[in-house]
């Protein structure tokens, strides 16, 4: 079992490097496809190690490690600087880092989910938001999701629900944003609903829970969540035909989040992600050759072949 876990960590690192390099090379690809690459990078190493151990136990043979294998972590057992065995210590540190990354996001995720369930109150007269949701849903070709309005002094606008999706907004958001900005922000959340991103978020948290010890899977899953934001931004910009109100609403949300609260690490990361989204929206995609699903499938196949030759 420990061997499978260790191999999963090594596979995760390899997958993260491959996917990271490809995404750097293919910056102009659509967010949906980039999300596919990130999901592949997170899920393949989670499955590859146990499946290879089960289907191909011969990979653990010394003859395979010293022969066809591209990389065998067991070769590092010989390295013990100052008497410290490098391999087990490195793997333990990576597992510790993975667990910290998982807990760092799990706790706010569960807190957020429980808080949202407790305070949501459905209202029939959500005013300007209802109209914005209906227009965005029409633009995205979907049935408008339900709307829930919270009375809160903090501006909140998000998409919730696994199967029955709804847009949750706070009364403060109506005061914080201009009608154009509200339209854009709502279109963004409706785009999340159109892609069923809350369900994807839970799925990603499940993947992260299964690979809680794997830092690469944690980082790829986090990057996938960010990519869903980019995808929703692009979809919203497509519906509106303009990115300016969306960027403006993001800036306002950013400023509202800053409003006198202590600068915690999670807030810093969140602010950085928002700033990155504004930058991405303002930078026009200039891909001359866009990758497609076939390229994603080729990458997954190549990654599986590569990971087959990586053993612990």
Partner 1 sequence: MRRPFLQIVAVLLGAAAALRAGDALPGILTGVPRGVVVCTALSEATALTGLRLQLPPALSVYQPIFRGIRATRAPQAALAVTMHDPTGNTLAVFRSAFSSIDRRLFQPLFPFHEIAIQVAGRPAMLRASNQPGGPAVQDLEWIANGTRTVLRFDGPTLELLRIADQMARLEP
Binding site for partner 1 (CB under 8 A): 14, 17-18, 21-22, 25-26, 62-63, 66-67, 69-72, 75-76, 78-79, 289-292, 295, 298-299, 302-303, 306, 309-310
Q: Rounded distance, CA 279 to CA 46, Å?
A: 32
Closest approach, Cβ 117 to partner 1, in A, equals 42
Q: Are strands 310-311 and 71-72 parallel, antiparallel or unpaired?
A: parallel
Lookup: tokens for 299: 């990458």
Structural element, H or E, at residue 260: none
Closest approach, Cβ 33 to partner 1, in A, equals 10
DSSP assignment of 192-252 equals HHHTTHHHHHHHHHHHHHHTTT-HHHHHHHHHHHHHHHHHHHHHHHHHHT-SHHHHHHHHH
Q: Which is nearer to partner 1, 76 or 109 (CB)?
A: 76
* 8 A C-beta contact, residue 158 and residue 270: no
Q: Which is nearer to partner 1, 75 or 115 (CB)?
A: 75
Q: Which is nearer to partner 1, 25 or 285 (CB)?
A: 25
Closest approach, Cβ 126 to partner 1, in A, equals 43
Rounded to the nearest 5°, which phi and psi values hold at 169? -135, 155
Closest approach, Cβ 84 to partner 1, in A, equals 15
Q: Which residues contact 229 (CB under 8 A, 6 or more apart)?
A: 273, 277
Q: Which is nearer to partner 1, 81 or 262 (CB)?
A: 81
Q: Which is nearer to partner 1, 29 or 183 (CB)?
A: 29
Work out the number of other CB atoms within 10 angstroms of the CB of residue 190: 29
Closest approach, Cβ 291 to partner 1, in A, equals 4
């Amino acid at each position: 079992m420990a061997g499978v876990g260790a191999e999963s960590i090594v596979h995760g690192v390899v997958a993260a490097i491959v996917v990271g390099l490809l995404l750097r090379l293919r910056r102009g690809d659509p967010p949906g496809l980039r999300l596919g690459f990130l999901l592949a990078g997170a899920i393949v190493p989670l499955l590859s190690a146990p499946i290879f151990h089960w289907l191909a136990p011969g990979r653990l043979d010394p003859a395979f490690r010293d022969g066809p294998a591209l990389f065998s972590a067991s070769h590092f057992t010989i390295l013990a600087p100052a008497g410290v065995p490098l391999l087990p210590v490195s793997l333990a540190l990576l597992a510790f880092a993975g667990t910290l990354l998982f807990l760092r996001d799990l706790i706010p995720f569960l807190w957020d989910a429980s808080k949202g369930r407790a305070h949501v109150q459905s209202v029939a007269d959500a005013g300007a938001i209802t109209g914005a949701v209906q227009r965005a849903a029409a633009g995205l070709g979907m049935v408008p999701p339900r709307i829930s309005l919270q009375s809160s002094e903090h501006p909140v606008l998000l998409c919730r629900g696994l199967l029955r999706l709804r847009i949750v907004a706070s009364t403060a958001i109506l005061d914080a944003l201009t009608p154009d900005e509200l339209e854009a922000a709502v279109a963004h959340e409706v785009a999340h609903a159109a892609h069923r991103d809350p369900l994807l978020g839970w799925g990603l948290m499940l993947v992260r829970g299964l690979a809680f010890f794997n830092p690469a899977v944690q980082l790829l899953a986090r990057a996938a969540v960010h990519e869903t934001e980019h995808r929703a931004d692009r979809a919203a910009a497509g519906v509106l035909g303009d990115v300016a109100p969306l960027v403006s609403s993001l800036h306002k949300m950013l400023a509202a989040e800053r409003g006198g609260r202590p600068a915690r690490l999670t807030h810093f990361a969140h602010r950085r992600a928002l700033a990155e989204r504004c930058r991405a929206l303002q930078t026009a995609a200039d891909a001359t050759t866009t990758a497609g699903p076939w390229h994603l499938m080729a990458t997954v196949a190549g990654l599986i072949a590569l990971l087959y030759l990586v053993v612990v």
